[in-house]
């Protein structure tokens, strides 16, 4: 009996599950840290290279277009060759992106960094969820998804503080060199524990029609999942890319303080993920949990967009939005698992999570245009409206999962 099969049919020691969850969580934190290689230094790039919000938004669109195309394809590769080789290749690309970032001299160089980092990011979700679904016991999957989301948020939370602090103490170029070293350390840790990251590959029969591997794409529920990720991520992209600038423009909050607010949002999201893990483990209606959490987050974000709060309360409410979103995170992943056909984990997660990349690609361009016009409040309110649309998509996933 294989390790993966054993995990489904016999008790697995907590220590074994915890080790796998921890290693995958470390990899996920590294990928989310990579999402923010560029955004924390947007104000620096605007000053040093004379860039506009729209140009900065296009950098992140490039990152996520490359990542989205790569992620949809990576799911097939993960099913064929296994998750582990793809994981180490992705981390190596992040090292390259950091080294390139330390040497850029203008906008074209930043665009190259965005493309390389986007390619690095492409494999993580199909890799992570293939490992978790195969190697972690079923009873602990809810907590595994919680830890996965929590560590991702911690990666997001670390990046702004990491780059802001090192840029002030040394220089932004030095910050990227230190980031490259950080990725090398992560690669070393995962390599030492590589036996815990192996997965089974999908068996391909020569007489099976090629279109059989694409059959999952005919399921409406898969595309509703894709739509949910696209919409919910558009809102997250606004917070990540523009919240610091919005807080500065609307309330005169200093750059360092506004950056700490973004970190607080991510930390609140991590706390929400922890709480949400217990909710996901006990709730049979993942779609409803997601809908309630996202609705609450949309309301809080819209309140921030009204401009009625002063500087302090605006920061508090914005950070609280992260907690609401975080609670729905593990239930979101459980919702996708329930909608995934057997034997198509890598492919489905690759396609569905490319919706995340698509949302990240579209949002900076759309809302970057808002920012260039000085529509700071409407940017937040528009992001809240899009998040409410994702609630409709989540409920649609739930209905079609039951029907299937």
Instruction: Say which residues have a Cβ less than 8 Å from residue 185's Cβ, sequence separation at least 6.
Output: none
Alpha carbons 220 and 184: distance in angstroms, whole number: 41
Residue 62's H or E segment, with its range, is helix 53-81
For the chain, give the number of residues.
404
Instruction: Tell whether 237 is covered by a domain.
Output: yes
The CATH number of the domain holding residue 97 is 1.20.1250.20
Domain count, the chain: 1
Instruction: Tell whether 342 is covered by a domain.
Output: yes
- How would you write the pLDDT of the chain (404 residues) with one tens digit per residue? 444 444 444 567 788 889 999 999 999 999 999 988 998 898 889 989 998 888 888 898 889 889 888 877 777 787 778 888 899 999 999 999 999 999 999 999 999 999 999 999 988 888 888 888 888 887 888 788 888 888 987 898 889 889 988 998 999 999 999 999 999 999 999 999 988 888 776 555 444 454 455 666 677 778 888 888 899 989 988 998 889 889 988 988 887 788 888 888 988 988 998 888 888 878 788 889 999 999 999 999 999 999 888 889 989 999 999 999 989 888 887 887 777 666 666 677 777 877 887 888 888 888 988 988 899 999 999 999 999 999 998 888 877 665 44
Instruction: Tell whether 203 is covered by a domain.
Output: no
Instruction: Tell whether 242 is covered by a domain.
Output: yes
3-state secondary structure of 174: helix
Q: Where in the sequence is the domain holding 216, given as residue range(s)? A: 15-196+211-403
Residue-wise DSSP of 279-335 = HHHH-S-HHHHHHHHHHHHHHHHHHHHHT-S-HHHHHHHHHHHHHHHHHHHHHHHHH
Instruction: Tell whether 34 is covered by a domain.
Output: yes
Alpha carbons 91 and 10: distance in angstroms, whole number: 33
Would you call 59 exposed, middle or buried from its count of C-beta atoms within 10 A (0-12, 13-18, 19+)? buried
Q: How many CB atoms lie within 10 A of CB 254?
A: 11
Task: Please give the model's pTM, rounded to 2 decimal places.
Answer: 0.74
Alpha carbons 83 and 300: distance in angstroms, whole number: 38
Instruction: Tell whether 206 is covered by a domain.
Output: no
Cα→Cα distances 176→98, 113, 226, 332, 342, Å: 5, 11, 33, 33, 41
Q: Please give the DSSP secondary-structure letter assigned to residue 104.
A: -
Instruction: Tell whether 248 is covered by a domain.
Output: yes
Instruction: Tell whether 378 is covered by a domain.
Output: yes
Are the C-beta atoms of residues 91 and 186 closer than 8 Å to each other? yes
Are the C-beta atoms of residues 14 and 143 closer than 8 Å to each other? no
């Amino acid at each position: 009996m294989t390790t993966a099969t054993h995990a489904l049919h016999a008790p697995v020691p907590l220590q074994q599950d915890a080790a796998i969850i921890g290693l995958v969580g470390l990899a996920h934190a590294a990928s989310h840290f990579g999402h923010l290689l560029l955004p924390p230094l947007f104000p620096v790039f605007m000053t040093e290279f004379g860039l506009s919000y729209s140009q900065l938004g296009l950098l992140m669109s490039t990152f996520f277009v490359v990542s989205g195309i790569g992620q949809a394809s990576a799911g097939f590769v993960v099913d064929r060759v296994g998750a582990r080789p793809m994981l180490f290749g992705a981390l190596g690309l992040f090292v390259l992106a950091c080294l390139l970032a330390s040497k850029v001299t203008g906008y074209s160089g930043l665009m190259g960094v965005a493309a390389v980092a986007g390619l690095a990011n492409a494999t993580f979700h199909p890799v992570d969820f293939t490992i978790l679904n195969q190697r972690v016991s079923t009873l602990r999957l809810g907590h595994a998804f919680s830890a996965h989301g929590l560590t991702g948020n911690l990666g997001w939370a670390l990046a702004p503080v990491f780059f802001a602090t090192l840029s002030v103490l040394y220089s932004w170029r030095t910050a990227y060199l230190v980031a490259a070293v950080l990725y090398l350390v992560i690669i070393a840790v995962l390599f030492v524990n590589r036996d815990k990251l192996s997965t089974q590959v999908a068996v391909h029969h020569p007489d099976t029609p090629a279109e059989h591997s694409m059959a999952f794409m005919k399921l409406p529920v898969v595309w509703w999942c894709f739509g949910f990720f696209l919409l919910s991520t558009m809102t997250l992209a606004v917070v990540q890319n523009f919240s610091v600038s919005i807080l500065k423009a609307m309330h005169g909050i200093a750059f360092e303080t506004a950056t700490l607010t973004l970190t607080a949002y991510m930390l609140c999201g991590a706390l929400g993920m922890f709480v949400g893990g217990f909710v996901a483990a006990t709730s049979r209606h993942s779609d409803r949990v997601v809908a309630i959490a996202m609705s609450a987050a949309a309301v809080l974000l819209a309140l921030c967009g009204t401009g009625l709060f002063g500087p302090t309360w605006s920061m508090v409410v914005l950070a609280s939005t992260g907690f609401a979103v975080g609670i729905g995170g593990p239930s979101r992943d459980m919702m996708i698992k329930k909608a995934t056909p057997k034997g198509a984990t890598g492919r489905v997660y690759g396609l569905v999570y490319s919706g995340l990349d698509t949302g990240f690609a579209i949002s900076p361009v759309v809302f970057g245009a808002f920012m260039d016009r000085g529509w700071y409040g409407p940017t937040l309110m528009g992001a809240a409206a899009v998040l409410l649309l994702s609630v409709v998509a989540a409920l649609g996933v739930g209905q079609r999962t039951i029907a299937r």
